[in-house]
Structure 1
Amino acid sequence: MSQIKVWDTETERKRLLNLRFARESFRTWQRHEILTDYIPGHVWYNWAEYPAERCPTPTKEDEKNFSFYKEKGMGLIKIHEEWNDALEIFGLDKFKPNNENGFRAMIDLAHKYGMKFIPYISSGYFDRRSKYYDPKWQVKYRGNTLALEEGYFDYGLSSPRSPDWRAFLLNNIEKLFDSYPIDGLYDDVGYDPLAFLDTPDEDQGHIDAFEESSQVHGAFEDLVQEIYSIVRRYRGIFTLHAWEFCNPIISAPPRFKCWDYLYVGEGIKDTNQMRRTVRGLPPFVFYIPDWRVVPFEDQRKVYALSIPYLQFPVLYHGRPITGKMYTGDKLSYRAGSSAVAWPHLIAEHYRNHPDDPPVLSPWDSIPGNPRTIENYFRYFDIYKLMTKPGSHVFIDIRDQSLLISPVWPDLVLSAYVNDEFFLVAANFLSEPNTLVFKDCWTDTETGKKSREWTLAPFEMRLLRR
């Protein structure tokens, strides 16, 4: 299929006039990005309820969903760990699909509708019951092996200092790309800062090659860079989910960028604290709001916290999670903390309330909230226009040249400039404030035109020139 685009003189004229207006209107900002292949629409697609079932071969239901995503302008499908056999109950493993034909068909379906397909891996988590598990990989804290031991999980944390673990992991990633036409990876890292952990035993063979501290994760960053280099060699997309870069207590920007997209938000209730933590991270950041802990009233607030910084939420969608439980004898189940939306709680809820909206992600509320999807597309329909290829994004404009009124602390103005000129205004104070501009701007939602805009606490306006 031809990729030739017809370039229009009038569109180019508008774009250059808008960029001239930007240059004449402001000169200082926190960051300036020029978008080339940015994908604004990411779908976290729930495919199955592993380990209760294998992933099914795609049906008309999945095709209908993917067709809808294409129509809306989405660009990336991310599948969580249900695609593989991490617990080895079907005789496979963490790097092999539990339904080979279905996996290939799902990749083909994504490609049919013009979307990238990226499956889950982990650069740290590995099941300790696996026939492949090597105790030499493990890390300890105060003499205890670190592991995720909840639900069906018995996932040991594997050390990025371990050459054995690195070789095992990287070889399996190579095989994954060689075997399937995937478009990248999602890495759920499974890592705790090495600076806090016990010194490994000598016979484990770990090599302490890097500086490690509460905010420097040398071995971890290096391992992720090795994975990133594989993904880029296959011309893929690397999406990282790393608590270390969004935890307000231990977070620090990486010394070297090691992702195309970073997903943040698991377990974080205070979304404004997260905003302050991740607003300066290298691009591109996506929110995965944890609706188990984020208050219901923050549904729209999430967009005000993200869009001013060229950040956006991921859409939770796909097949409903109904709380199916594994019934075999290979695994035991332990209810745990809020690490996931536990299947026994989901099943209990829908036994009592079968008509409630569905849960669509392990981090969704129980029951699901239909307003989540409504709000998503309310903003995405504008955001995708703001982030077209060739757009210049001026993040957190620092001077007052657009305004007559004074700039207050925690006012953020950002401009998205292409053949259209969008201005994002957000108020992160706990009281209302009024902006008075030199020129009239149009509200993209209401069509109202004005020079004066009052913003409630944590309110955002998307304005068009």
Structure 2
Amino acid sequence: MDAAHHRCRLKNLNDVNTLPKKVVREHWVHDYLAGQVIYHLGEYPKRFSMAPTEYDERLLETFAAHGAKLIQLHEDWHDSQRLLGADKFTPHDRDGFIRFVDRVHALGMKIIVYASTGYFESRDPDFDPAWDINLKHINVHFYFRYAHCSPASPEWRAYLLPRLERIMDEYGVDGLYNDFGYMPLGQHPVPPGHVSPAPETSAHDAALEDLLWTVLNLVHHRNGVYKAHYGGLRKPLGDRKMYDYIWVGEYIASTDTMRLQTRYYEPYVVPCIDLSHATLRDDDEPYRLAVPYLQFPLRVDGRPFTGECAAVPRVEYADPDKCFVVKNYRKYLEYYRTHPEAPAMYGEWDSFPGKPERRETWLRHLDMYLPMVKEGTRVWIDISDSPVIEGKKDESLVASLFVNDEVYMVVANYAALPATFTSVWPWKDRESGVTARTITVPPHKLLYLVRAEEAR
């Protein structure tokens, strides 16, 4: 930035800092990779090529052109069941996988892959039952029988950590997405031979915290990105944040519960409304629930998802009457076989049938969001008692300021009635172009605003 830009930014910050206000959280944006996509590559355990196709090229180019920063791969990249000549820590199509990674990098994006510090196939020849937290609770689901390996097991750590290092060193990926696969040790007796670094309690996952910190350092030592997933809306119990990003939303039916429980989690949260369980009021709802809290939804995309993964010959699946995943996927498979022209879905968290217009919605909101979260931006989340938003009556109207060389404000109305506020500054609606000091926010609506020129 030249001197004029520095002057502008400093004045904007001074204007906001000198305003009377209450805020729930203040945050400085740093190393924030907004615009993250979980990219479906194929119907594992069916064999497929991971080499980028023309379809992949076009889609990845679209994401890159709009400023998406991170591509995330799920369990289709590896071979957790050892059916295709690889294993949980290696790609079943090494050459195709490396070509895909290289293409993502060539487009200026980063790529992270699925790993787990807890889940491991109990039928794998390497599995040692002594690693498990509780062998009575094997996760029998879909095509796998996952044990919950204990973060307090020294032998499990000795097996796991070198393999995580090799993923990053050998394949050129930019980090790991850690699906914890954790059963709280505070609720189970610590198995014989396992050692926790501190007491396990209902408020502190001591061994998990230490293992997550170890993996975080492993990843950061390689200048990588570490994304965490506990399940549902949970985060690790403790006072320390041991990840760069946390994904929330799996299996959650209530979008209101999701917002209220995760809105003040420490950044950066990547919400993904699980559309196999939840229903949207409208296609803008994921952004209305997230953006005012310095969150941006995960995009579920990639190659079409058809459910073939639930009907691969000679694969043992969970009973569909007891496993909704198998039941749903086989329903999808039958539907797409009889409706081959139906709109595609792109993963297990996507809507069925798919809604292709939601990709454009995600890109439109990303275009609005990225200028607000540039490096060095300061964010004041959930402002009240301030002349910037006079007339705010309750928690159903949420406003946050994003300040850098512009002063942005997002305002969301979560109520069923319109809400009106008046501001000390005039604001321009970035979508409609209308400028006003008194603004009415329609029910269940998100506004993207920028302070008008005349207020500078």
Report the TM-score range of the alignment, normalised by the length of the smaller protein: over 0.9
Aligned 8 A contact 1:41 1:314 in 2: yes
Aligned to 2:454: none
Equivalences for 1:129-144 in 2 at 5 Å? 129-140=123-134
Query: How far does the alpha carbon of each residue in 1:158-196 deviate from its partner, in whole angstroms, 9 at most, with x for none?
Result: 111211111111121122222121111101111122222
2:139 pairs with one of 118, 134, 148: 148
SS at match of 2:337: helix
Equivalences for 1:180-191 in 2 at 5 Å? 180-191=171-182
Aligned to 2:166: 175
Paired amino acid for 1:362: E
Aligned 8 A contact 1:157 1:190 in 2: yes
Equivalences for 1:169-318 in 2 at 5 Å? 169-197=160-188, 199-202=189-192, 205-243=193-231, 246-247=233-234, 254-318=238-302
Cα distance in structure 2, aligned partners of 1:23 and 1:162:
49
Evaluate the alpha carbon distance shift between residue 171 and residue 132 of structure 1 in structure 2; reply closer, same or farther with a 3 A threshold: same
Q: TM-score, normalised by structure 2?
A: 0.93
Unaligned runs of 5+ in 1: 1-6
Aligned to 2:57: 63
Cα distance in structure 2, aligned partners of 1:341 and 1:371:
26
Equivalences for 1:66-105 in 2 at 5 Å? 66-105=60-99
1:64 Cα offset (Å): 1.5
Q: Indicate yes or no: 2:430 matched with 1:444.
A: yes
Cα distance in structure 2, aligned partners of 1:136 and 1:404:
60
Cα distance in structure 2, aligned partners of 1:25 and 1:201:
55
1:342 Cα offset (Å): 4.0
Same amino acid, percent of matched pairs: 35
Q: Indicate yes or no: 2:339 matched with 1:345.
A: no
1:454 pairs with one of 413, 419, 440: 440
Aligned to 1:327: 312
Cα distance in structure 2, aligned partners of 1:273 and 1:164:
39
SS at match of 1:226: helix
Paired amino acid for 1:269: A
2:389 pairs with one of 398, 403, 409: 403
Paired amino acid for 1:154: R
Paired amino acid for 2:99: A
SS at match of 1:221: helix
Cα distance in structure 1, aligned partners of 2:323 and 2:417:
35
Q: Indicate yes or no: 2:20 matched with 1:32.
A: no
Aligned 8 A contact 1:267 1:338 in 2: no
Aligned to 2:151: 160
1:353 Cα offset (Å): 2.3
Paired amino acid for 2:223: R
SS at match of 2:218: helix
Evaluate the alpha carbon distance shift between residue 410 and residue 252 of structure 1 in structure 2; reply closer, same or farther with a 3 A threshold: farther
SS at match of 1:354: coil
Aligned 8 A contact 1:55 1:82 in 2: no
Evaluate the alpha carbon distance shift between residue 282 and residue 55 of structure 1 in structure 2; reply closer, same or farther with a 3 A threshold: farther
Cα distance in structure 2, aligned partners of 1:111 and 1:341:
37
Q: Indicate yes or no: 2:108 matched with 1:114.
A: yes
Query: How far does the alpha carbon of each residue in 1:345-377 deviate from its partner, in whole angstroms, 9 at most, with x for none?
Result: 211111232222111112112111223213212
Paired amino acid for 1:222: D
1:435 Cα offset (Å): 1.2
Q: Which moved more, 1:449-458 or 1:164-173?
A: 449-458
SS at match of 2:181: coil
SS at match of 2:360: helix
Paired amino acid for 2:231: W
1:461 Cα offset (Å): 1.4
Aligned 8 A contact 1:83 1:98 in 2: yes
Q: Which moved more, 1:65-74 or 1:14-23?
A: 14-23
Cα distance in structure 2, aligned partners of 1:405 and 1:111:
48
Paired amino acid for 2:239: R
Paired amino acid for 1:231: V
